[in-house]
A and B are shown apart, each in its own frame.
Chain A
Amino acid sequence: MTQHDGAYFPRDRNWHPKLLTPDYKTSVLRSPQKPLISFGNSLSETTGPVFGHNDLGELDSDLIQNYARSGESALGERIIVHGRVLDESGRPVPQVLIEVWQANAGGRYRHKKDGYLAPLDPNFGGCGRALSDDNGYYAFRTIKPGPYPWPNGVNDWRPAHIHFSLFGSGFAQRLITQMYFEGDPHIALCPIVNTIKDPQAIDMLTAKLDMNNTIPMNARAYRFDLVLRGRRSTLFENRLEGN
Chain B
Amino acid sequence: MTKLAYLKESPSQTAGPYVHIGCTPNVIGNDGIYPQDLGAAMITGPAKGEQITFAGRIFDGTGTVLRDAMVEIWQADAQGIYNSPAETRGAADPNFTGFGRQAVDMESGAFTFETLKPGRVPFPDGRLQAPHINIWIVARGINLGLNTRAYFSDEETANADDPVLARIEHKHRIQTLIAQKERNTYTLDIYLQGERETVFFDI
Contacts and interface: CB of A to CB of B under 8 A. Distances in A.
A174 B30 CA distance: 24
A97 B60 CA distance: 30
A227 B8 contact: yes
Nearest to A177: B13
A114 B38 CA distance: 23
A107 B58 CA distance: 29
Interface string B1-31: 0000111111111111111111101001110
A214 interface: no
Interface in A50-64: 50-51, 55, 57, 60
B124 interface: yes
A86 B13 CA distance: 18
B21 A126 contact: yes
Given A12-B8, A12-B9, A47-B86, A27 B142 contact: yes
Contacts of B140: 26, 30
Contact of A174 (B22, B35, B72): B72
Nearest to A114: B18
Contact of A101 (B19, B121, B144): B19
Nearest to B39: A49
Contact of B22 (A27, A28, A165, A172): A165
Interface string A28-61: 1111111011111111111111110001010010
A88 B134 CA distance: 24
The binding surface of chain A is classed by DSSP as loop
B66 interface: yes
Interface in A170-187: 170-172, 174-178
B138 interface: yes
Contact of A49 (B12, B97, B193): B97
Nearest to A25: B141
A146 interface: no
A230 B6 contact: yes
A113 B18 contact: yes
Question: Contact size class for B?
Answer: 35 or more
A42 B121 contact: yes
A227 B86 contact: no
Contact of A175 (B12, B61, B64): B12
Interface string B52-88: 0000000011101010100010101000001111111
Residue of A16, A97, A195, A226 ringed by the most chain B CB atoms within 10 A:
A16
A68 B203 CA distance: 41
Contacts of B198: 32
Interface in B141-187: 141-147, 149, 163-164, 167-168, 173
Contacts of B192: 29-32
B139 interface: yes
Contacts of A193: 13
B49 interface: no
A5 B86 contact: yes
A188 to B, nearest CB: 15
Nearest to A100: B22
A163 to B, nearest CB: 6
Given A31-B193, A43-B121, A49 B10 contact: no
Scoring B32, B106, B141, B199 by chain A CB atoms within 10 A of each residue's CB, the highest score goes to B141
A144 interface: no
B25 to A, nearest CB: 5
Given A12-B8, A18-B143, A127-B30, 8 more contacts: A29-B64, A34-B173, A34-B199, A47-B84, A60-B33, A110-B21, A176-B19, A176-B145
* Closest 9 pairs between A and B when the two form their complex, measured CB to CB: A101-B22, A26-B141, A49-B99, A47-B84, A30-B141, A17-B143, A29-B61, A47-B82, A36-B202
